[in-house]
Chains A and B, each alone.
Chain A
Amino acid sequence: MSFQTPWAVLGPAVPSQTPEGIRRRYQRSVLLVLFLLGAVVLASVWLGEPAIRFEALMSRLSELVARKGWPWWVPDFVRLIVPCSLILIFVQLVPVFVLWWELKVAAHIQVRLGPMHVGLWHGWAQPLADGLKLLLKEDIVPAGADRWVHFLAPIVAFVPAYVCYAPIPFGADMAAADLDIGVLFVLGLSGLTVIGLLMAGWGSNNKYSALGGLRAAAQVVSYEVPRVISVLPVVMWAGSLSLSQIMAAQSGLWGGVIPKWFIFYPVIGQVSFLIYLICAVAETNRVPFDIAEAESELVSGFHTEYSGMKFAFFFMAEYAYVFLGSALGAVLFLGGAEPLPLMRWLPTYVVFFGKTMFLVFVFIWFRWTFPRLRVDRLMDFCWKFLLPWSLVNVLLAGLVFLVRWG
């Protein structure tokens, strides 16, 4: 007698589960993705540089104002309001897109598919559905919580993330506010978020949250130091703190071959970039530096007691910082909107987003590959390894620039 289960007799239930079916589906998906990418690139080429179009519209508006006799401040006001609103909308959309991308990249790293149903095509609407769910959820405040601190913490954590986007040049002449001290502004403001995390840890009246908040404070404050120092060589090289000028300094080619991006500067460029990348991951509290939320240890760390939109604010702040760290990395080290030699026909903002999304991918890749460091080892790594080497790097950079430019 031989015992046979139905599975053994029937084989796979669905024809598309056979190897040929799976291969066909993969081929179709790859073609579809290529087609979509091509369509986006073509559309962007057709649209051209938004800055130029915006200037054309603004000059037409000025004429209109002069002809109709409207108040003089109208064009200035529009010039102020429109980019700000665009940035606000953009920062709202960033977490949505980055979250979807993280879900899909993580899934494919982990030999699974990720969301496939919401929105009918590869779960593209999953983040929107998640957001809607968070919006509808009950907002729970623990009985022993410090109500005001608990309420304000997500806002304090979230607002700097928005403000930091102001001086980021998304393409040629596409910074909402082209500050002379752009680097300082972004690095300084992004450090403020830690106050929100600390408030969340304190205000929740939960021991896990308190531990998480304290960890976050120690971590972010420590990693701020090597991060800023790792950026100094770029600033010294470009001779400016303005992000758009740093970007402009990286246009052109070295020896007619290598793009003049700072990451290709021998030794100094690579060391700075690596230290910056590590610190940027640490600043966003993500694996391998996610000790502040550390799901397996502290349940959810500082946001254990947050639900609904308050939780969503922490969440959006995290993803906004992921994108911000990548954008800053792209501007400082990868030439920002400067394209590769043969890709000059691309609009600048497409180049910028390409580089930024590559760095976002690196963030996600880290997250789903590495284990988590322990608190004390994390501090050791920062103070005993990153800081000395970033200082050596700055000294080396200073020496090299002094010798070369006298």
Chain B
Amino acid sequence: MNPLNPPAGVINATADSILSGPSFETKMERLSETEMLLNMGPQHPSTHGVLRVVLKLDGEVVTGAMPDVGYLHRGVEKLSENRLYPQVIVLTDRDDYLCAMLNNWAYCLAVEQLLKVEVPARAEYIRVLVGELNRIASHLVLIGTFGIDIGAFTPFLYAFGREREMILDLLDQVSGARITYNYIRIGGVMADLPAGWTEKAGKFVAHMRACLKEYDDLLTYNPIFLDRTRGVGILSKESAVSYGVAGPNLRASGVPLDLRKMAPYGVYGKFDFEMALGKNGDCFDRYLVRRNEIEQSLRIIEQALEALPAGDILGKVPKANIRPPAGEAYAHIEGARGWLGVYLISDGSLQPYRMHVRAPSFISLAVLQEILKGWKVADVVAILGSIDIVLGEVDR
């Protein structure tokens, strides 16, 4: 057979498969007469990025759903095999761009495990400070965009345009960047806190406490919001555990699991805070867990600001040529979206032999095909918003 001139059937099959996406048509059972396929995304206002969800609809009711990922794939894991160890930190910024600090942190923890470096106490506290601030910023994005998904536009501008902006200013002052910080470094942090920063952070904590009340008025106790989110998209304890969901989504289903409590890394063992827990695992619980986590993060920040020790900010790490001994390491932290793990293999050279990121939103996304069934189109958006995915992390 001439590959340039194949028989008619073959080329038609290929063209069809490219145009109509047979993987979905064939994987979902055939459509009945009252059903239709709705291609939600990759260009859609509320898929939070370039996610494609193929929905099988009966009227407005979803009878089948299939998330399709990969539109934002940049090959971060492969790219990191060709960079020096410190250069990879820049790549991790781009994974989950809503909480880049935590990505930096997870990666640096893994490298520090390989190198067996001690991180100075001050650097550990600074990491907690910026990490928790970044977690708040990330949860604020969820609260805002979840509001938009439900149809309330105003909370978004409060959360995203006012409070998150203050956090970004604070992080800008420590790192020089608003989104991609590259601040947490192997063995410590990039620079010390600027003068007057701790007072500003303290002011922000007080401000944020007052603002939570505003969100409660607009969203948490709003009857329409409750009507839209309570009992919608229930993720049971069992299926959450069996899918490997972690973080706020798991805690919303009532499983008390938080790495900061269970396996404290850094100096988290020294702080007094509670774990935000939900009961039913519906959209409202997933929202409420985030809202309560902001409160707990504020408590942690307050304690960290008080206990902030003086001292070095960088451990004993070679200035150049970081060459960890051959071996492997896995470090995970409690990211804003769940367990954020980095698995590193070193062959003793200047570059990682292999890096893998356990991306929490990728794992949460898999749940969609189960919990979307039986809900309406409007609920699809609510459920998708409450799961809180970042496509940069899903596709990497």
Q: Given A111-B162, A294-B151, A373–B227 Cβ distance below 8 Å? A: yes
The verdict on B222 contacting chain A, using a C-beta distance below 8 Å, is: yes
Q: Which of B26-34, B129-137, B331-339, B374-382 is the interface stretch?
A: B374-382
CB distance from B57 to the nearest CB of A (A): 8
Q: Given A370-B222, A371-B224, A211–B151 Cβ distance below 8 Å? A: no
Chain A positions 290 through 329: 1 when the CB is less than 8 Å from some CB of chain B, otherwise 0:
1100111111000000000000000000000000000000
Find chain B residues with CB under 8 A from A376 CB.
Answer: 376
Chain A positions 197 through 218: 1 when the CB is less than 8 Å from some CB of chain B, otherwise 0:
0000000000110010000000
Pair B151/A375 contact, Cβ less than 8 Å: no
Q: Given A8-B173, A109-B154, A299–B45 Cβ distance below 8 Å? A: yes
CB distance from A370 to the nearest CB of B (A): 6
Question: Which B residues, 37 to 93, have Cβ-Cβ distances below 8 Å to chain A?
Answer: 38, 44-46, 60
The verdict on B172 contacting chain A, using a C-beta distance below 8 Å, is: yes
Q: Given A5-B176, A8-B194, A374-B227, A288–B377 Cβ distance below 8 Å? A: no
Pair A371/B157 contact, Cβ less than 8 Å: no
Find chain A residues with CB under 8 A from B45 CB.
Answer: 295-296, 299
Q: Given A299-B44, A374-B227, A368–B154 Cβ distance below 8 Å? A: yes
Find chain B residues with CB under 8 A from A68 CB.
Answer: none
CB distance from B353 to the nearest CB of A (A): 34
Find chain B residues with CB under 8 A from A207 CB.
Answer: 36, 38
Give the docked Cα–Cα distance between A66 and B333 (Å). 94
Q: Which of A110, A287, A375 contacts B378 (CB 8 A)?
A: A375
The verdict on B147 contacting chain A, using a C-beta distance below 8 Å, is: yes
Find chain A residues with CB under 8 A from B60 CB.
Answer: 211, 375
Residue of B nearest to A287 (CB): B151
Q: Which of A4, A112, A295 contacts B161 (CB 8 A)?
A: A112
Residue of B nearest to A291 (CB): B378
Chain B positions 215 through 242: 1 when the CB is less than 8 Å from some CB of chain A, otherwise 0:
0001100101101100000000000000
Find chain B residues with CB under 8 A from A109 CB.
Answer: 154
Pair B196/A374 contact, Cβ less than 8 Å: no
CB distance from A314 to the nearest CB of B (A): 18
The verdict on A53 contacting chain B, using a C-beta distance below 8 Å, is: no
Q: Taking each of B44, B151, B162, B224, which has the highest tally of chain A beta carbons within 10 Å of its own beta carbon?
A: B151
Chain B positions 330 through 357: 1 when the CB is less than 8 Å from some CB of chain A, otherwise 0:
0000000000000000000000000000
Give the docked Cα–Cα distance between A296 and B173 (Å). 35
Find chain B residues with CB under 8 A from A370 CB.
Answer: 151-152, 222, 224
Q: Taking each of B38, B60, B379, which has the highest tally of chain A beta carbons within 10 Å of its own beta carbon?
A: B60
Pair B194/A297 contact, Cβ less than 8 Å: no
Find chain A residues with CB under 8 A from B169 CB.
Answer: 7
Q: Taking each of A7, A291, A299, A371, which has the highest tally of chain B beta carbons within 10 Å of its own beta carbon?
A: A371
Residue of A nearest to B195 (CB): A2
Residue of B nearest to A372 (CB): B151
CB distance from A103 to the nearest CB of B (A): 13
Chain B positions 164 through 201: 1 when the CB is less than 8 Å from some CB of chain A, otherwise 0:
00000100111010000000000000011111110000
CB distance from B380 to the nearest CB of A (A): 8
Find chain A residues with CB under 8 A from B162 CB.
Answer: 111
Q: Given A3-B192, A5-B176, A288-B224, A297–B377 Cβ distance below 8 Å? A: yes
Chain A positions 121 through 133: 1 when the CB is less than 8 Å from some CB of chain B, otherwise 0:
0000000000000
The verdict on A1 contacting chain B, using a C-beta distance below 8 Å, is: yes
The verdict on A17 contacting chain B, using a C-beta distance below 8 Å, is: no
Find chain A residues with CB under 8 A from B224 CB.
Answer: 288, 370-373
The verdict on A369 contacting chain B, using a C-beta distance below 8 Å, is: yes
CB distance from B39 to the nearest CB of A (A): 8
Q: Given A111-B161, A111-B162, A371–B176 Cβ distance below 8 Å? A: no
Q: Given A110-B154, A296-B45, A4–B195 Cβ distance below 8 Å? A: yes
Find chain A residues with CB under 8 A from B192 CB.
Answer: 1-3
Chain B positions 131 through 156: 1 when the CB is less than 8 Å from some CB of chain A, otherwise 0:
00000000000000001111111100
CB distance from A353 to the nearest CB of B (A): 27
Pair B158/A371 contact, Cβ less than 8 Å: no
Residue of A nearest to B39 (CB): A207
Pair B173/A290 contact, Cβ less than 8 Å: no
Pair A374/B378 contact, Cβ less than 8 Å: yes
The verdict on A404 contacting chain B, using a C-beta distance below 8 Å, is: no
Find chain B residues with CB under 8 A from A2 CB.
Answer: 192-195
Find chain B residues with CB under 8 A from A208 CB.
Answer: 38
Q: Which of B152, B195, B196, B381 contacts A297 (CB 8 A)?
A: B381
Find chain A residues with CB under 8 A from B153 CB.
Answer: 110, 287, 368
Find chain B residues with CB under 8 A from A299 CB.
Answer: 44-45
Give the docked Cα–Cα distance between A368 and B153 (Å). 6
Pair A112/B376 contact, Cβ less than 8 Å: no
Residue of B nearest to A5 (CB): B173
The verdict on A377 contacting chain B, using a C-beta distance below 8 Å, is: yes
CB distance from B221 to the nearest CB of A (A): 12
Find chain A residues with CB under 8 A from B219 CB.
Answer: 371
Residue of B nearest to A367 (CB): B153
CB distance from B173 to the nearest CB of A (A): 5
Residue of A nearest to B200 (CB): A8
Give the docked Cα–Cα distance between A313 and B339 (Å). 50
Find chain B residues with CB under 8 A from A290 CB.
Answer: 151
Chain A positions 1 through 24: 1 when the CB is less than 8 Å from some CB of chain B, otherwise 0:
111110110000000000000000
CB distance from A302 to the nearest CB of B (A): 15
CB distance from B70 to the nearest CB of A (A): 22
Give the docked Cα–Cα distance between A327 and B227 (Å). 31
Q: Which of B157, B176, B380 contacts A112 (CB 8 A)?
A: B157
CB distance from A1 to the nearest CB of B (A): 7
Find chain A residues with CB under 8 A from B148 CB.
Answer: 296
Give the docked Cα–Cα distance between A207 and B56 (Å). 12
Chain A positions 169 through 191: 1 when the CB is less than 8 Å from some CB of chain B, otherwise 0:
00000000000000000000000
Give the docked Cα–Cα distance between A375 and B59 (Å). 12
CB distance from B54 to the nearest CB of A (A): 12
Q: Given A5-B173, A112-B157, A371–B151 Cβ distance below 8 Å? A: yes
Find chain A residues with CB under 8 A from B158 CB.
Answer: 110-111
CB distance from A104 to the nearest CB of B (A): 15
Find chain B residues with CB under 8 A from A8 CB.
Answer: 173, 194-197
Find chain B residues with CB under 8 A from A298 CB.
Answer: 377
CB distance from B263 to the nearest CB of A (A): 32
Give the docked Cα–Cα distance between A376 and B232 (Å). 13
Pair A211/B228 contact, Cβ less than 8 Å: no
Pair B194/A288 contact, Cβ less than 8 Å: no
Can you report 15 A-B residue pairs in the complex whose CB atoms are below 8 A from each other? A2-B193, A3-B174, A4-B194, A5-B173, A8-B195, A110-B157, A111-B158, A207-B36, A211-B60, A290-B151, A369-B154, A370-B151, A371-B222, A375-B60, A377-B228
A-B interface, 8 closest residue pairs, ranked by CB to CB distance from nearest: A372-B151, A371-B152, A296-B46, A110-B157, A371-B150, A3-B191, A371-B151, A374-B378
Not counting A370-B222, A372-B150, a sample of 4 additional A-B residue pairs whose C-beta atoms are within 8 angstroms of each other reads A3-B194, A5-B173, A8-B194, A371-B228
Contact surface of B with A, Cβ cutoff 8 Å:
36, 38, 44-46, 60, 147-154, 157-158, 161-162, 169, 172-174, 176, 191-197, 218-219, 222, 224-225, 227-228, 376-381
